[in-house]
Structures are given as structure tokens and as C-alpha cells.
Structure 1
Amino acid sequence: MDTWIPITAQELEALLERELSRCSDEQRQYFTRISTGLREAKIERFGLIENVFVVAQDKGIALYYEDVEEGFNLSPLTMDGAIASPGWEGWELHHALYHLAAQVS
């Protein structure tokens, strides 16, 4: 059985660079405007509190990397900055940016 190991900030930065290269110019500009840098946020997974990295935020909706599902998700944040509604979409970055832009417009 494989043991799950959380993604590191360095690994996620490299992944973001690769994923951004696959985005349209408009999506890259949007990401630049809403990027938060890598910021840890609490997330509840199966009754346990763990951490994920928020990478961007627009109008109260966070774009974060879900390293269990190995993809990007969207969620509002709680008052203390935790992921309010964990998702399981596991999108590539360009898909997540598309959905985020549509959700906040």
C-alpha cells in the first residue's frame, strides 16, 4: 500500500509553473491579478484537520490545490481562513480558473 505524502511548497510552485504554461494569456493575467502566493489553509478530510495550499482568491472564493485528489478546487473560506466546502473536482489549473471566473462574474 502506498503512503500518501503531502505536496511541498516547492513541488506545488513547479506544478503551478507547468500548469500556467498550459493556460491562455487571459487566464495567466487573471491568475496574476488574484494570486495570493502559497498560503496554507486548514481543510477537514474524513474527520481530520489537515492543510492545503491556497494559490489564489477572488471575491471570497479560494482556488486551492487538493493534493489528495491531485488537482485544483474552489471553496469559500471560513472566518478563520479554512476551506469551508472541500471539493473533489481535481481540475487542472486552466479548468479551475475558468470555473472561478464564471462563479465570481
Structure 2
Amino acid sequence: MWQSIPLYELKTLIAQQIAECSPETRMLFEANAITPQKWTLSPWGDDGGGFWVIAIIGKFVLWYNDIEEGFNTSSFTQEGAIEQYWCNQDPLHVALLSLSSKSPKLGAPHAPA
């Protein structure tokens, strides 16, 4: 049974990896970062009380998969619940770039309702 990464270790990991990001990627993170929150993703995250979500852009979240030790992105429809399990072992900047490509661009026309 795995144990979730402690919050202080996650914050240290984020700080280390953000320091390695380009200024643009760092700004993207800072503009969308949230205080880390545990979100559910059953059954994978059940033993650890969920996974840490660290940023939200539109209907996508950036989260840390501490089973695989990497950052991932996923959509969500209900706050507090990650929809897809991914086992990427991406560093933060790679996951951020993936997340930014899924989000609407500034000045882009809105999709019809």
C-alpha cells in the first residue's frame, strides 16, 4: 500500500521544478496555481486519500501522481474529483505545457453554447 507524499515534500518538489521552468511556464503556473488540495480518483487514490491537485486551468487540473512520482493533467466536471488516471512520470514543466495546450487561449472566441 502506498502512502501519499506529505504536503511539505510536494511543496519542495514544486519549488525545485518551478525554478527550472522558463519564465513563461512559471507565469502560467503562478497564474493558475491553487493551494494544494487532495482530490479523489477512485480506486487508485483511495489508499492515499486522493491525489494533490496544484493548479486549475479551465476544466483541467494539474496533479501529482505520487504512485508514479510524476505530474499529470486531467479534466474534471465536479470540483474535488479527478476524472482520468494517468501514470505519466512527467516533470512539472512538461505537464504544464500539456495543460496550457488544452486550455482556451487568451482572445480566442468562445465555443457556442
Q: TM-score, normalised by structure 1?
A: 0.88
Please state how far the C-alpha of 1:80 moved relative to its aligned partner.
4.7
Q: Within 2, Cα distance between the matches of 1:79 and 1:43? A: 12
Report what 1:28 is aligned to.
26
**1:3-22 matches, cutoff 5 A:** 4-22=2-20
Q: How many residues align?
A: 102
Q: CA RMSD in A?
A: 1.5
Q: Equivalent pairs: percent with the same residue?
A: 29
Larger CA Rg, structure 1 vs 2: 2
Distance in 2 between residues matched to 1:81 and 1:101, nearest whole Å: 20
Q: 1:80 to 1:28 in 2, by over 3 A?
A: closer
User: How far apart are the structure 2 equivalents of 1:80 and 1:30?
Assistant: 21
Unaligned stretches of 5+ residues in structure 2 = 105-113
- Which aligned segments of 4 or more residues in structure 1 are displaced greater than 4 angstroms? none
**Which has a greater percent of strand?**
1
User: TM-score scaled by structure 2?
Assistant: 0.83
The answer on 1:54 being equivalent to 2:53 is yes
Distance in structure 2 (CA, Å) of the matches to 1:97 and 1:80 = 19
> In structure 2, what is the equivalent of residue 67 of structure 1?
66
- What runs of 5+ residues in structure 1 fail to find an aligned partner? none
